[in-house]
Amino acid sequence: MDEKRYALPVILFLALFYFYPLGSIIALSFAPQGHLSLEGVEQLVSSPYYLHILWFTTWQAALSTLLTIAIGLPGAYIFARYDFPGKSLIRALTTAPFVLPTIVVALAFTALLGRRGLLNAALMGIFHLDHPPLDLRYSLAIILLAHVFYNYTLVLRIVGAYWANLDPQMEEAARVLGANRRRAFLEVTLPLLMPAIAAAALLVFVFCFTSFGVILVLGGPRFATLEVEIYRQTVQYLNLPLAATLSLVQMGLTFGLMAAYARLQARMSRPLTLRPRRTTQRAPVRRHERLLVLGNLTLMLLLLGLPLAALVGRSLDVDNYRRLFENPRGSVFYVPPVEAVRNSVGFALATVGLAVTLGLLSALALSRPGRMAALLDPVLMLPLTTSAVTLGLGYIVALDKPPLDLRTSPLLVVLAHTLVALPFVVRSVLPALRSIDPRLREAAAILGASPWQVWREVDLPIVARATLVGAVFAFTVSMGEFGATSLIARPERPTLPIAIYRFLGRPGAANYGQALAMSTLLMAVCLLGFLLIERFRVGEMGEF
């Protein structure tokens, strides 16, 4: 079977570099010395500190989710029900923050809301103050704002897309029967929207639950999620059994949440009275409708645009960019920042090659319905449900003995980035492959084309743009990956996110300026990648 032939390299890759490292974490949790021991579990349950971290991880994710849903629903409504100039461009721009690395998002909020941020500078100038009036450093408020910024587009896209196809006549019928606008929404529209809202909420919760870069930079020493504590136990305390136990807890909770998300997606696929968007959307003509659209668009631009503008504004100093080529310490462990740029680009290009190859093989295996596709499809999505820090820890634990002793190899970073990028490549290419009419392949075969010629002459021209979208996704994901890389990258080969975090940890305005400059460059690369994705995407094809 062709499907098995295509799937075999992918299954082998996942077995060696996903399931084997995660299995090693499980073994380390329950047998740290090679025999059964519950040392890590005992440390976890006996200390109020770790229970507090689990509790904080959960409730901050829940609060972030509630805020994101509350702020995102009005935006989802105007995109679902109204048509206005620039709508497609604005929707695309609202997605841009989601492709940004978390370390960049954290630094953008510091540039806007920190003690030396643009907001404090403006308030001090307006009111002639000697000290910054706002100090949101290491506060819960700035963490929540960053999570809303990062996940806003999930609500806008998931709920807005579902809402746009709901027949508005159902709500209008309730109004005719005597229900006011509020009651019609609560008793008719809201119940129909609940699967989409719940699916978006679960996805936002998972991203906030596994938050790493945002908490590490903005939370400081006061706040730690499970993800941050896994990093600290691994890097600072070298307590691998406890780190593995924390990872196991996080994996169990995250897998459970993603299983619930899959069930909600199935509910969203049930037949309803749906109508084309062109019949459910109209231009805002009344005054209150225009105010509603304008108010929501203004909120979007302020929420999503101000932090990025602050980051760019704070970085605009020639010295910040000139210092990117300097290494004042003269040490191989403190390479010039421009070297980190080269490292990131090199890792990203290697990731593109491996992720696109495996992604095409995966898409070919999944393109035809059958048992193979039914089993492989959810397996390929598992890396998205696994925290990057947990993945990095698994590599440290598992890949330390021949023939897989890769601890000092740059290939380790490429493997980790490929695992994170692979689902994006598959979900970009698979819809294009499934859209090909089988009769085209049959006609080519009847005319004497070999399987390779059929692929080259029929399939490849159709999936080329989707493959390019997947490649850009892989490049962008690799450039911004921080969680796994923070554990496995060699000190002399830092990536851009690692270098940014290092400079943030050093005192002095010059170091902070270099972190701002590097973050701006990384932001520009990711946004350019996003624009290319939007440019080459075929209509709405693709699942991301």
- Does pLDDT of 269 surpass 60? no
- Does pLDDT of 539 surpass 60? no
- Domain 316-544 class in CATH: mainly alpha
Q: What pLDDT digit, counting tens, does each position of 473-490 carry?
A: 899 889 989 888 988 988
Look up residue 511 and give its two tokens.
């170091």
Ranges 118-122, 355-359, 415-419: which has the least confidence: 118-122
The reported pLDDT for the residue numbered 57 is 93
The reported pLDDT for the residue numbered 10 is 92
The reported pLDDT for the residue numbered 411 is 92
The reported pLDDT for the residue numbered 1 is 47
Residue in 424, 445, 442 with CA at minimum distance from that of residue 363 = 424
Ranges 211-220, 253-262, 313-322, 475-484: which has the least confidence: 253-262
Helix (H, G, I), strand (E, B) or coil at 246: helix
**Segment (H or E) for 215:** none
The reported pLDDT for the residue numbered 332 is 46
Ranges 260-264, 265-269, 313-317: which has the least confidence: 265-269
Whole-number Cα distances in Å, 523 to 93, 97, 108, 309: 13, 9, 10, 11
Furthest-apart CA pair in the chain: how many Å?
82
Helix (H, G, I), strand (E, B) or coil at 166: strand
Helix (H, G, I), strand (E, B) or coil at 282: strand
The reported pLDDT for the residue numbered 329 is 56
Cα 485–chain centre separation: 15
Query: For the domain bounded by 38-315, which CATH number is listed?
Result: 1.10.3720.10
The three state secondary structure string of 20-34 is HHHHHHHHHHHCCCC
**Distance from C-alpha of 117 to C-alpha of 119, rounded to nearest angstrom:** 6
**Distance from C-alpha of 451 to C-alpha of 454, rounded to nearest angstrom:** 5
Domain ranges across the chain: 38-315, 316-544
> Do residues 155 and 91 lie in contact, with contact meaning Cβ atoms separated by under 8 Å?
no
The reported pLDDT for the residue numbered 417 is 95
The reported pLDDT for the residue numbered 532 is 77
How confident is the model over 258-272, as a mean pLDDT?
61
Higher pLDDT, 472 or 273: 472
Q: What pLDDT digit, counting tens, does each position of 123-157 carry?
A: 888 888 888 888 787 889 999 999 999 899 889 88
How confident is the model over 354-367, as a mean pLDDT?
89
The reported pLDDT for the residue numbered 273 is 52
Contacts of residue 238, defined as CB under 8 A and 6 or more positions apart, other chains included, come to none
The residue type found at 445 is: A
The three state secondary structure string of 380-440 is HHHHHHCCHHHHHHHHHHHCCCCCCCCCCCCHHHHHHHHHHHHHHHHHHHHHHHHCCCHHH
Provide the percentage of residues in the chain whose pLDDT is more than 70: 86
Higher pLDDT, 220 or 326: 220
Binned at pLDDT 50, 70 and 90, residue 279 comes out as low
Q: How many residues does the chain have?
A: 544
How confident is the model over 324-344, as a mean pLDDT?
72
Q: Do the domains spanning 38-315 and 316-544 agree at the CATH topology level?
A: yes
Q: Match 């196991």 to its residue by tokens.
A: 248
- Does pLDDT of 257 surpass 50? yes
How confident is the model over 464-481, as a mean pLDDT?
88
- Does pLDDT of 543 surpass 50? no
Binned at pLDDT 50, 70 and 90, residue 268 comes out as low
- Does pLDDT of 64 surpass 70? yes
**Distance from C-alpha of 268 to C-alpha of 54, rounded to nearest angstrom:** 31
- Does pLDDT of 409 surpass 60? yes
The residue type found at 171 is: E
